[in-house]
Amino acid sequence: DTAVVLFTRDLRVHDNPALHEACRTAAKVVPLFVLDPSAPSSPNRQRFLLESLADLRESLRGKGGDLVVREGDPVEETLKVASEVDADGIALAADASPYAHRRERRLVEGAGRRSVKLFPGATVVPAGDVRTGGGGHYKVFTPYWRAWQAAPHRDVVAAPRKVVLPAGIDPGRLPEPAAGSGFAAGGETAGRKRVKAWLGSVGDYDDIHNDLPGDGTSRLSPYLHFGCVSPLDLATAASTRDGAEPFVRQLCWRDFYAQVLAAFPDLRTKAYRPGADDTWKKDRNALEAWESGHTGVPIVDAGMRQLVDEGWMHNRARLVTASYLTKHLGVDWRSGAAVFMHHLLDADVANNYGNWQWVAGTGNDTRPYRRFNPIRQGLRFDPDGDYVRRYVPELADVPGKAVHTPWDLDEATRRALKYPEPLTLD
């Protein structure tokens, strides 16, 4: 019989339960990806996606198969391919977002006699598998972390050895990726290489992950987002290393927000916490200055410029920039989160909106009035100012930590910088 494996955010052959099971049980398999021209993307993310698909295609060709590529509405195209090859079933990875749930529902409705099977793989522990005593989802991280550690994990599955396509199927064309910023080549091959290198230093994570100029985090988030790297495979491999627990805990945060989103599909638009103060300004000018990195607050501008240039931002800078927008400028967290969604390679509804709600104090946070002082954060996590100078060339000649407070420079130096006054520091 024949199975269609619809790839979504699981662009890998290793530890891909949907692909593994289809290759184990069906004589012929169509590994399929549908490019959706209506899906929002940025040039950086599009590049990463196309590189990941090219890499996946190469891996599948190496196993005798191919990646079949179609363009259009993912559900309609999948159903068309399934009918073209007269498939018995469609397999895909389950996902927590409302978009994914709609896709799953529509596939089931349109598949008729064909089966539609959902597989794990998007998270370490599937959203909904770990529940509170009352049967609900977890709202607070620490108890979730404890339950998550104690939960049984499925086994990591091997890459299929052979993929047999139905005869005569047109593999379809994959557009060439445009040249990007060069940061993080997309794909499973690059992702696995990064994992291997990263595991060598995972024990240092706790000491260095907040060091802004040092880039001491794994930078695996785009690979995890597109599923080039299996989160379970990564968590399992990391757990065998000394001192890896603080890193594994971060992977648990990712699962945590997936189960929050699964239980609260409005995470993108509504305050998660009932009764949360959710009144904000719509200030276009402030939002634009923030997005383009011209707020006049060096650490904020450095973070935002890193985001726009590289499609990635250090977590500490994400916290500081998001806090500045919401708590200093009073601008709606939804507008800031949408800017992040547009630029981030790892843009992810669960993680992005979950974290934005945490910063804004509308989420599961127990300290809703927390706000980060950007100057203190800069001095603490970028003590010599190297991170700011790397991304804000107007300040490249300001030495040491003085770069965090350019308004304290003497008048003539200050004016020569062509760097704006802070929008606000209050």
Residues near ligand FAD (CB under 6 A) are 209, 217-221, 224-225, 250-251, 253-254, 257, 315, 318-319, 322, 340, 344, 346-348, 351-352, 355-356, 359
Does 247 belong to an annotated binding site? yes
Alpha carbon 153 to its chain centroid, in Å, reads: 22
Q: Is 346 annotated as a binding residue?
A: yes
Nearest distance from residue 278's CB to ligand FAD, in Å? 16
Is 347 annotated in some ligand binding site? yes
What is the rounded distance in angstroms from the CA atom of residue 395 to the CA atom of residue 389?
6
Cβ of residue 180: shortest distance to ligand FAD, in angstroms? 18
Strands 68-71 and 115-119, sheet pairing: unpaired
Q: Phi first, then psi: what are they for 276, rounded to 5°?
A: -65, 145
CB closer to ligand FAD, 7 vs 205 = 205
C-alpha closest to that of 317 among 239, 374, 234? 374
Is 268 annotated as a binding-site member? no
* Residue 257 counted as an annotated binding residue: yes
Burial of 129 (0-12, 13-18, 19+ CB in 10 A): middle
Are 163 and 5 in contact by the 8 Å Cβ rule? The answer is no
The CB-of-306 to ligand FAD minimum distance in angstroms stands at 11
Element (H, E) at 60: helix 43-62
Residue 177 carries which DSSP code? P
Among candidates 224, 311, 381, 282, which has minimal Cα distance to 46?
311
Q: Which is nearer to ligand FAD, 352 or 364 (CB)?
A: 352
Structural contact between residues 27 and 2, judged by C-beta atoms closer than 8 angstroms: yes
Is residue 348 marked as binding?
Answer: yes
Between 61 and 376, name the residue whose CB sits nearer to ligand FAD. 376
* Closest distance of CB 195 from ligand FAD, Å: 11
Nearer to ligand FAD, 318 or 404 (CB): 318
Consult the annotation and say whether 220 binds a ligand.
yes
In terms of CB distance, is 82 or 344 closer to ligand FAD? 344
Q: At its nearest, how many Å lie between ligand FAD and the CB of residue 167? A: 40
What is the Cα–Cα distance from 166 to 43, expressed in whole angstroms?
A: 34
Q: Which is nearer to ligand FAD, 215 or 421 (CB)?
A: 215
Binding annotation for FAD: 205, 217-221, 247, 250-257, 346-348
Binding annotation: 205, 217-221, 247, 250-257, 346-348
